Chain A
Amino acid sequence: MKQDPIARIEREVVQEQTHRDGIPQIVVGTFLVFAMLSMLDGNSSIFPVFVPFIPLAIRALRKRFTYPRIGYAQIKESRRNRLLGIWLVLSILVAGLLAFFIFRGMPQTAKQPAQLHYLIMIAVAFMIIALSIAFVLKNKHTLVIWYAILIAVFILAILVFKPGRHTVHWIVLTFGAAHILYGSISLISFLRKYPVLQDE
């Protein structure tokens, strides 16, 4: 089926504004690596505090690297996407608060066995959250489908194989490192391709 040229151009602009610079991958990857390292170190309750800073970090880096090169365009947000965004933020808050209070309310002896499940849940939830923020809210790229499949496979693998205590951490850590690498390559090629342009 032939795509409407306006829709095609809109899609291209969204791609360019949200993906081409590799910045979301770098930020999300850094967060995942930091989160997993802090979990391996036994500090599992610190990193959720940094979640709200992910979009802020992406925006700050874009102001520094992306917008001076390809300019800034405010993407049209459909009502559906806006609702999805609100739903996502609310569900993150509720899930985070629930996890925090459940874990906090547990007696010290019960914490240890519950910790693995808690950590897996948090790790998977944050992967979904971070990737959703980076990809789903802004467009319907085929990458989203691949990520959704990857995350689904990841969750299923955890449930089926019941890996050891730190296996999940190392998998997510590798996943995060791969993001940083991919994002860095994208950013370097972006910086090489587009020179800085001046305003009027």
Chain B
Amino acid sequence: MNKEMDTTPEINLEELDRIIHEPARLNIMLYLYVVEKADFVYLVHKTGLTKGNLSVHLQKLEQSGYIEIIKEFVNRIPHTLIQLTPQGRNAFDSYRETIKNLLEQV
């Protein structure tokens, strides 16, 4: 029994980036990863999150340095543009790699 347990590959979940690993933020990162930049409405539409919920997650990602939020006014209407920073892009690449490796181990 013990011998069997010894042969089980070690899965280190600590390697996972907790900021990105949260499903809503993963979704946000994914949809920002495939474009240069996008506006707030695009993320509401693609992720299906409520405006409040999305704002909270965006703040968290911004605090981590993964995204940059640009607020502007177009015809006196607020318009929010969001883009992944190079750090965010690298973090997403690393996350994908880690997940792939972990799944291979499983």
Number of B positions contacting A (CB below 8 A): 23
- B45 and A74 contact, CB distance less than 8 A: no
Query: In the docked arrangement, what's the CA distance between A73 and B80, Å?
Result: 12
Interface segment among B2-10, B12-20, B34-42, B60-68: the answer is B34-42
Per-residue 0/1 for A45-83: is the Cβ within 8 Å of any B Cβ (1 yes, 0 no)?
A: 000000000000000000000011111111111000000
Number of A positions contacting B (CB below 8 A): 20
Instruction: Tell me how many residue pairs across A and B have CB atoms closer than 8 Å.
Output: 68
Query: In the docked arrangement, what's the CA distance between A67 and B33, Å?
Result: 19
- Chain B residue nearest to A12 (CB atoms) is B34
Per-residue 0/1 for A102-120: is the Cβ within 8 Å of any B Cβ (1 yes, 0 no)?
A: 0000000000000000000
Known: A76-B36, A198-B51, A200-B40. A71 touches B45 (CB 8 A): yes
Q: Does B24 lie at the interface of the complex (its beta carbon under 8 Å from any beta carbon of A)? A: no
- B42 and A73 contact, CB distance less than 8 A: yes
Query: In the docked arrangement, what's the CA distance between A13 and B40, Å?
Result: 15
- Chain B residue nearest to A10 (CB atoms) is B34
Query: In the docked arrangement, what's the CA distance between A183 and B12, Å?
Result: 52
Contacts of B33 in A (CB 8 A): 6
Q: Does A41 lie at the interface of the complex (its beta carbon under 8 Å from any beta carbon of B)? A: no
Q: Does B55 lie at the interface of the complex (its beta carbon under 8 Å from any beta carbon of A)? A: yes
Query: In the docked arrangement, what's the CA distance between A200 and B51, Å?
Result: 6
Query: In the docked arrangement, what's the CA distance between A159 and B9, Å?
Result: 69
Per-residue 0/1 for B30-54: is the Cβ within 8 Å of any A Cβ (1 yes, 0 no)?
A: 1101111111111111100001000
- B45 and A197 contact, CB distance less than 8 A: yes
- Chain A residue nearest to B44 (CB atoms) is A197
- CB of B86, distance to nearest CB on chain A (Å): 14
- B31 and A67 contact, CB distance less than 8 A: no
- B38 and A74 contact, CB distance less than 8 A: yes
- A72 and B36 contact, CB distance less than 8 A: no
Known: A67-B41, A197-B45, A200-B40. A73 touches B35 (CB 8 A): yes
Query: In the docked arrangement, what's the CA distance between A67 and B34, Å?
Result: 18
Q: Which of B30, B44, B51, B96 contacts A71 (CB 8 A)?
A: B44
- B45 and A199 contact, CB distance less than 8 A: no
- CB of B47, distance to nearest CB on chain A (Å): 11
Known: A70-B45, A71-B45. A199 touches B39 (CB 8 A): yes
Q: Which of A9, A68, A200 contacts B78 (CB 8 A)?
A: A200
Q: Which 4 A-B pairs give the minimum distances between C-beta atoms? A: A71-B42, A71-B41, A10-B34, A73-B38
A residues contacting B by CB (< 8 A) are 6, 9-10, 13, 67-77, 194, 197-200
Q: List 10 A-B contacts (CB under 8 A).
A: A10-B34, A13-B31, A13-B34, A67-B41, A72-B38, A75-B36, A198-B41, A198-B51, A199-B80, A200-B55
